[in-house]
């Protein structure tokens, strides 16, 4: 694979996890009640911007046909001060953007650019989109639900936050890299 340019290295450095939020199913829980927390975020910056039709064409010609995104998301309880402990085991999963040669005239703008992409989700199901923007939003938008068992909820105020990590490999359009982010804390009161 050809070495990425200095521009490709800079794009890797500008990739960030944005909008990392936790949304609890309830802010007040009973001691015998499990609570669901939805964690969602988007990957934006260099990696999101560079994964487009023009780079697909160049990457495909260089036999660089698979973008593999490795995610890890953990949900943590803030105990005394800044000490944190994992509430549920962090989940690891992979999402892929695969390039292919298409004959669909709705997805191509001319005879020379026939390359399109599809998303392979964590469960292995391929998703094909008609719009480049929808495809990138699906590939780089993450939403997970964590269930906190009632045995992990302590009486009183419980403070939780999410921590997300992303790693990707080297490609013709971007250098390998990683990024991470933490969400703002949320509070669940157990009565």
Per-domain boundaries in the chain: 6-26+35-185
The stretch 96-104 carries a mean pLDDT of 88
Confidence of residue 126 (pLDDT cuts 50, 70, 90): very high
Beta bridge partners of 28: 189
Claim: this prediction has a pTM higher than 0.75: yes
Name the residue with tokens 């402990």: 85
Confidence of residue 78 (pLDDT cuts 50, 70, 90): confident
Q: Is the pLDDT of residue 185 over 80?
A: yes
- 26 burial (CB, 10 Å; 0-12 / 13-18 / 19+) is exposed
How far apart CA 15 and CA 43 sit, in angstroms, is 7
- 78 burial (CB, 10 Å; 0-12 / 13-18 / 19+) is middle
Q: Is the pLDDT of residue 2 over 60?
A: no
The stretch 25-53 carries a mean pLDDT of 91
Mean pLDDT, the chain, whole residue set: 88
The stretch 93-107 carries a mean pLDDT of 85
């Amino acid at each position: 694979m050809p070495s990425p340019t200095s521009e490709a290295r800079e794009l890797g450095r500008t990739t960030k996890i944005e909008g990392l939020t936790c949304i609890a199913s309830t802010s007040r829980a009973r001691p015998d009640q499990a609570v669901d927390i939805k964690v969602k975020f988007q990957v934006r910056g260099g990696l999101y911007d560079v994964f487009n039709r023009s780079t697909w064409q160049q990457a495909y010609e260089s036999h660089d046909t698979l973008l593999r995104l490795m995610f890890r998301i953990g949900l943590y309880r803030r105990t005394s001060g800044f000490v944190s402990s994992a509430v549920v085991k962090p989940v690891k999963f992979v999402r892929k953007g695969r390039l292919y040669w298409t004959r669909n005239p709705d997805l191509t703008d001319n005879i020379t650019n026939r390359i399109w992409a599809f998303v392979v989700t964590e469960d292995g199901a391929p998703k094909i989109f008609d719009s480049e923007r929808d495809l990138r939003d699906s590939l780089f938008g993450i939403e997970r639900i964590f269930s906190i068992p009632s045995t992990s909820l302590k009486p009183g105020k419980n403070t939780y936050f999410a921590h997300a990590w992303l790693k990707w490999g080297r490609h013709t359009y971007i250098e390998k890299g990683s990024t991470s982010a933490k969400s703002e804390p949320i509070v669940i009161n157990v009565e």
